[in-house]
Structure 1
Amino acid sequence: MSTAARLAAPVSKGDRIGIVTLSAPEPAAQSDVFARGVQALAGLGYEPVVGAHATGRSGYRAGTADELLDDFHQMIADPSIAAIMCAGGGRSSNRLLVGLDLPLIAMNPKLIVGVSDPSLLLTAITSRTGLVTLHGPSVMWDLADPDAPSETAEHFTAMLSGQSTAARVDTPLTWARPGSAEGPLIAGCLSSLRCLLGTPWEPRWNGVILAVEDAFKPTDLLDQTFTHFRDAGVLDKIAGLVVGESVGCEPTAGITVGDMIEDLSREYGWPLAQGLPYGHTPRKFTLPVGAMLRMDSSAEHPLTFVSPWVTAP
């Protein structure tokens, strides 16, 4: 990961936020849900701008790689767009990696928000440009949910605007291995981040705090994924591990995801915390990928971002 963070400007109420679909055609499949999410974003005080292909469908994707990249790059290049938000998730956003215009992104820094499958794009962009991105809510799954906990939108808007109070992640954690560490954050869906291993977009793992979560997969399948991270040398390099709450991840032979990660992590000395609500959980914190995170099991606020994630107002 780049040691020199590149920061976007904070996003204020009234600013325009571009909405893109980078993988599955969820807005096309559930147009009423998507419309409700767009309306909710407007209700938070922002002006939504929907990408040309965000509501399209091309098989199991919203469009061709060129179409989806064109939407994304247009939002990046448009000076009237203050931030970019992903509509939802999917399984194929890594199709876009080879076409990412990294110089364009670096020259036009703005907050990019994604979750689940697009988290691999956030990590790739942060790793190759230094731009701090936001692992946060989606238009489809979070903003569109009328029963979503209010804390999700509150922390999201606080992160967008750069409020200092948002740096404290106030939630109880279970410490499988107490301790403290500090480093730049990499956060994402475990099975999505796996797509970066061995590619030109793989982060430099040395000294990072790694936060992982996943959803709707059994423990034995996630064991295969996490073992791949171990065997690729990732666990030898990180400074700490934070495991998110799993959603719909059934135990295999009575073994939970948390049990499996603890078992595979026994030989390492870094601190290990479990139970962070982010990613696929209804109540979620928005996490700035690339910002410096301090984790400390003995602190009043065990997870605190100690570097800015946006420029000063």
Structure 2
Amino acid sequence: MADRGRPHVRVIAPARWAPDEVLSTFSQIAEDEGLSVEIDPQAKLRADQLAGSDDERADALAAALGDEDVDIIWCARGGYGSARVLNRLSGMMVSKPKLLIGYSDMTALQLSGALPEVTHLHAPMPIDAAKPGGGDRLAAAARLAKDLVAQGQAPASGYDLEGVAEGTARGSLAIGNLCVLTTLLGTPYEPQWDGVILCLEDICEYYYALDRHFVHLAQSRAGQGIAGIVIGDFTDLEDNDVPWGEDVPAMVRRHFPDIPVAYGLPIGHGDRNEALIQGVAATLSVTGGNARLDIEGFALAGGAS
């Protein structure tokens, strides 16, 4: 039962399942920040690695979207599986302005355009409660989500970064996992971009494989709509016995030579991963080794609930 004095969160699992203790820890963190939390029974289903069948995961998302009591849909965990529900989202009804929160595999939901009526937050998920400092990051994300629902807006912010390639770009933020993003290219869910500032992260990939993904992105239709790139955390990367020879910033500069590139945004699977709003207007400025990402204030479509 939703506590109408508090923004109401429903936790679902569009991909892998999360352990009960993680869900319990998350619930306490979010409630301490003034949210009301409900764990959908679907989040506890186990179909091998996935949290239930594709239909069960899609149905849980549909139910949360259509429930008037739900203000915030918080995805329990990434891994893999969200792309398998994309073809089941057509025609889903959204009862009112809502937030959908997650990252990593949730890139499939957040950047595909399959849920245009929803405001997406690239932010930690309940599974991150088990990481060092994860509780603090979840608490910060909960405060942002609460303010968005209660006040309908978020203030401007900014980040000092390291410069990789000079230039200035202005556009809306698109934030996600590189490998998940490239699986959308050439499908009906390929992003339709016109001047975005793309912020990327990834984990546990080989350097040569990352280069392959950057080539794919640069040569795609979506890649032509990128005005600037900001590199987040690329963690736990692997190399062959003969090294690849380029780090991630060098790869991005090679394959996107005509746009500004910066490095050091606190997003991804590392120790930072701050909450950011998808689609908010921003400006990326890079001069020499210095860079700045200025993010404008944001007003929630439809206003506060």
1:147 matched to which residue of 2? 133
Q: Distance in 2 between matches of 1:294 and 1:156?
A: 25
1:205 is aligned to 2:193: yes
1:45 matched to which residue of 2? 34
Shift of the alpha carbon at 1:121? 0.6
Aligned-residue Cα RMSD (Å) equals 2.6
Kindly report which structure 2 residues correspond to 1:289-300, keeping only aligned pairs within 5 A, or say none.
289-297=278-286
2:283 match: secondary structure: strand
1:172 match: secondary structure: strand
The letter for the 2-side match of 1:161 is D
Q: Is the 8 A contact 1:112 1:133 kept in 2?
A: yes
Q: Is the 8 A contact 1:152 1:283 kept in 2?
A: no
Q: Is the 8 A contact 2:147 2:154 kept in 1?
A: no
The letter for the 1-side match of 2:34 is G
2:102 matched to which residue of 1? 114
Q: Distance in 2 between matches of 1:35 and 1:166?
A: 30
Q: Distance in 2 between matches of 1:149 and 1:36?
A: 8
Q: Is the 8 A contact 1:37 1:144 kept in 2?
A: no
1:189 to 153, 157, 177: 177
1:14 to 6, 11, 14: 6
- Map Cα deviations across residues 80-139 of structure 1 (whole Å, 9 max, x no partner): 11110000101221000000144513x5330000110012111124x6625431111101
2:275 to 273, 276, 286: 286
- Map Cα deviations across residues 154-198 of structure 1 (whole Å, 9 max, x no partner): 2552254137664303x3311112322221221110111112111
Kindly indicate which of the two structures has a greater share of residues assigned to strand: 2
Over the matched positions of the two proteins, sequence identity in percent amounts to 27
1:260 is aligned to 2:251: yes
Q: Distance in 2 between matches of 1:245 and 1:70?
A: 32
Q: Distance in 1 between matches of 2:133 and 2:297?
A: 32
1:245 match: secondary structure: strand
Q: Distance in 2 between matches of 1:273 and 1:58?
A: 40
1:36 is aligned to 2:25: yes
Aligned residues: 293
Shift of the alpha carbon at 1:145? 3.9
1:60 is aligned to 2:52: no
2:16 matched to which residue of 1? 24
For the structure 1 residues 95 and 36, does the alpha-carbon distance in structure 2 shift closer, same or farther, using more than 3 Å as the test? same
Shift of the alpha carbon at 1:152? 5.6
1:136 is aligned to 2:123: yes
Q: Is the 8 A contact 2:11 2:39 kept in 1?
A: yes
Q: Distance in 2 between matches of 1:264 and 1:100?
A: 33
